[in-house]
Amino acid sequence: MEKYSVYNQKIAELFEEIADMLEIEGGDHSFEIRAYRKAAMNLSVLQEDVGDILEKEGTEGLMKIPGIGKGLAERIREYVEKGHMSKYEALKKKYPIDFNSLTKIQGLGARKVLKLYSSLHVKNIEDLKKAVAQHKIRALEGFGEKSESEIAKGLQLLESARGRMPLGTALPEAESIIKTISDSGFADRVVIAGSTRRMRETVGDLDILVTSATPQKIMDLVASLKEAEHVVVSGPTKTTIQLRMGLSCDVRVVEPSSFGAALQYFTGSKEHGIAIRQIAVRKGLKLNEYGLFDKKGKVVASKTEEEIYGKLGLQYIEPEMREARGEVALAAEHRLPKLIEQKEIRGDLHTHTDNSDGQNTIEEMIEAAVRKGYSYIGLSDHSKSEYIAHGMDDKRFAKYFDEIDKVAEKYEGIIEVLKSGEVDILKDGTLDVNKSTLDRMDYRIGAVHMNRNMSRDEMTKRILGAFDEGINILAHPTGRLINEREPIDFDTDKVFHAAKDKGVIMEVNAFPNRLDLNDENIIKARSYGIKFAIDTDSHKTEHLDFIKYGIGTARRGWLTKGDVVNTLDADALKRIFR
């Protein structure tokens, strides 16, 4: 599980901000800027806390972290020991701007943020909102009306996201709290409910259910959790805490005899719960969080969810399907699809190495896939248009494939290594590499990265063009980033129709800030009868574990094993690509 430490995250943010401020300083800071950004990136994914490293091995230890030299190690030490960073403070005095919030708005980079500051005194989100409302931005040099409306959209996105966090942040936090409660020995069962159990892409608050012979002990423990910032309310069987990471968390102790009813109720969704209770009423029964009761008030079922759905004449409905999207009617007819499971995945088809912007070598990625028990792994580094990601031209691709072939020999009989590339789909729908490069790939991934603001018609043509160029998989089809960036605009009907026609596979990108296609788009795409690939888009070995978010999203889109190509064995998969 990905677990970020407090220092690493905080220092990464400071480094990012230093880079932003250096960028607007002007002059030649390009080397320094890159160093800060790289260090920030490496710190944000580092497993071990820099505080611990410093304690054990001093700055020498810090310098073993990739991208951290002597100077940066000193800055980290200063922050850990003194609680501030003088370099940061000096720059901040010059630029009293909330960079971290402002640069997260789509369409705003460090330079534009400075321009807004120097000409309109925009220091934070509030100032930005005012400037947008008064239409002051469109008049600025380098902005214009289009840019102003994009910023307005970015602000709206931020507004609608308020308080909801990506599943990829919420789930690890829930798992960590559940572990602490389990390890205490005071609980018999500890489970996650609510939107997190349903694997919804964003989560409003955490809902945890516990059975215990000593409820007060659980309540005390929850109030004193290290993750808690403060206690919101505490009663004999329910405590709500505000977590430091931003969400709040409800912990309820329920009776073992009504555990199933409570789990069914608090898993939701609310709309699914209402639909289920209507079925109960039609059968002359009553369902609440304590159980399913007959007219005389006698318990019909309450211990497990399976019994409750069973006594209502329904098939068991998986949590990811409980969204009132027609699942209740299907369950009544015993016609629910059998949802895909993680254990059915036999390989990952979208991964990166240090040949572009990944952090691990080809061999390390292959090793990690072997450890996951996969039968194959597809390596798919970036093409040259993605210059920020150090994307490859045809010459580098050739060397990349040679290297893969060489390493793959060592793994013969252990795991099949497939050669691919995440190739940029250019504005006109052509691909960013030569035919000879495409020909050496076992399969081709296409992706839209640049020029995202095309009209719906143009973007649709662009994607269809890439289908004609022979891509096998369309990576993160909409390009949205959860709570950060809107999807690109294209005609999904036309694209899904063509995908069916040409046998192009839609990706369910499992990277936690993407989840793309999302549940609703998957349901739509599935109705066209097209196939899917659930991929992690890993940029380091640990990311292979993100597959669970892709599985959750695929299950929310009602996908079965048969819909997903990377449940096939390597030979069957290669036949599909040919």
Q: Write the CA distances from 80 to 89, 178, 268, 288, 384, integer angstroms.
A: 15, 29, 43, 51, 39
Residue 201 found at the interface with Ca ion (CB under 5 A): no
- Give least dist CB 205 to ligand DGT, A: 4
Nearer to ligand DGT, 76 or 165 (CB): 165
What are the residues whose beta carbons fall under 8 Å from the beta carbon of 12, sequence distance 6 or more?
39, 40, 41, 43, 44
Q: 13 exposed, middle or buried (CB, 10 Å; 0-12, 13-18, 19+)?
A: middle
Give the relative orientation of helices 259-267 and 270-282 as an angle to the nearest 10 degrees.
130
Interaction mask 211-250, ligand DGT, x per CB under 6 A = ----------------------------------------
Residue 264 found at the interface with ligand DGT (CB under 6 A): no
Instruction: Return the structure tokens found at 431.
Output: 């691909």
Contact status, residue 443 vs residue 477, Cβ threshold 8 Å: no
Task: Select the residue interacting with ligand DGT from 270, 282, 410, 435 (CB under 6 A).
Answer: 270
Q: Which does 51 bind (CB under 5 to 8 A by kind): ligand DGT, Ca ion, none?
A: none
Cis preceding-peptide flag for 269 (omega within 30 of 0): yes
Nearer to Ca ion, 174 or 517 (CB): 174
Contact status, residue 489 vs residue 480, Cβ threshold 8 Å: no
- Give least dist CB 515 to Ca ion, A: 18
- Give least dist CB 161 to ligand DGT, A: 12
What are the residues whose beta carbons fall under 8 Å from the beta carbon of 427, sequence distance 6 or more?
450, 451, 454, 462
Nearer to ligand DGT, 179 or 270 (CB): 270
Q: Which does 268 bind (CB under 5 to 8 A by kind): ligand DGT, Ca ion, none?
A: ligand DGT
What are the residues whose beta carbons fall under 8 Å from the beta carbon of 530, sequence distance 6 or more?
496, 499, 500, 504, 505, 506
- Give least dist CB 413 to ligand DGT, A: 46
Residue 323 found at the interface with Ca ion (CB under 5 A): no
For residues 182 and 50, what is the distance between their CA atoms, to the nearest angstrom?
A: 28
Contact status, residue 258 vs residue 289, Cβ threshold 8 Å: yes
Task: Select the residue interacting with ligand DGT from 9, 44, 147, 269 (CB under 6 A).
Answer: 269
Interaction mask 150-169, Ca ion, x per CB under 5 A = --------------------
Interaction mask 202-221, Ca ion, x per CB under 5 A = ---x-x--------------
The residue behind tokens 């009776």 is: 255
Q: Which does 273 bind (CB under 5 to 8 A by kind): Ca ion, ligand DGT, none?
A: ligand DGT
Residue 378 found at the interface with Ca ion (CB under 5 A): no
- The 10 Å Cβ neighbour count of residue 70 is 10
- Report the candidate in 105, 119, 118 with the shortest Cα–Cα distance to residue 151: 105
Instruction: Return the structure tokens found at 98.
Output: 């909330």
Q: Which does 376 bind (CB under 5 to 8 A by kind): ligand DGT, Ca ion, none?
A: none
* β-pair type (248-253, 286-288): unpaired
Instruction: List, edge to edge, every strand of the sheet that includes 505-509.
Output: 422-424, 445-447, 473-474, 505-509, 532-535
DSSP secondary structure letter of residue 192: E
Interaction mask 156-195, ligand DGT, x per CB under 6 A = --------------------------------------xx
By CB under 6 A, which span of 264-272, 418-426, 507-515, 528-536 interacts with ligand DGT? 264-272
CA angle 141/147/153 to nearest 5° reads 150
Say whether 436 sits in a helix, a strand or coil.
Answer: helix
- Give least dist CB 265 to ligand DGT, A: 6
Contact status, residue 17 vs residue 48, Cβ threshold 8 Å: no
Say whether 485 sits in a helix, a strand or coil.
Answer: strand
Nearer to ligand DGT, 72 or 280 (CB): 280
Instruction: Return the structure tokens found at 14.
Output: 């400071």
Please compute Rg for the chain using Cα positions.
Answer: 26
Q: Which does 270 bind (CB under 5 to 8 A by kind): Ca ion, ligand DGT, none?
A: ligand DGT
Nearer to ligand DGT, 254 or 475 (CB): 254
Q: Which does 359 bind (CB under 5 to 8 A by kind): ligand DGT, Ca ion, none?
A: none
Interaction mask 195-214, ligand DGT, x per CB under 6 A = x-------xxx-x-------
State the number of binding residues for ligand DGT (CB under 6 A).
13
By CB under 6 A, which span of 62-70, 114-122, 226-234, 265-273 interacts with ligand DGT? 265-273
CA angle 412/416/417 to nearest 5° reads 105
Partners of residue 564 on adjacent β-strands = 532
Nearer to Ca ion, 180 or 248 (CB): 248
Q: Which does 446 bind (CB under 5 to 8 A by kind): Ca ion, ligand DGT, none?
A: none
Residue 572 found at the interface with ligand DGT (CB under 6 A): no
For residues 432 and 485, what is the distance between their CA atoms, to the nearest angstrom?
A: 24
Q: Which does 274 bind (CB under 5 to 8 A by kind): ligand DGT, Ca ion, none?
A: ligand DGT
Query: What part of residues 245-284 is at the interface with Ca ion (CB under 5 A)?
Result: 250
Nearer to Ca ion, 206 or 362 (CB): 206
| CB-nearest residue to ligand DGT | 268
Which H/E stretch holds residue 229?
A: strand 228-234
Task: Select the residue interacting with ligand DGT from 273, 319, 421, 552 (CB under 6 A).
Answer: 273
- Applying CB under 6 A, the residues found at the interface with ligand DGT are 194-195, 203-205, 207, 265-266, 268-270, 273-274
Q: Which residues bind Ca ion (CB under 5 A)?
A: 194-195, 205, 207, 250
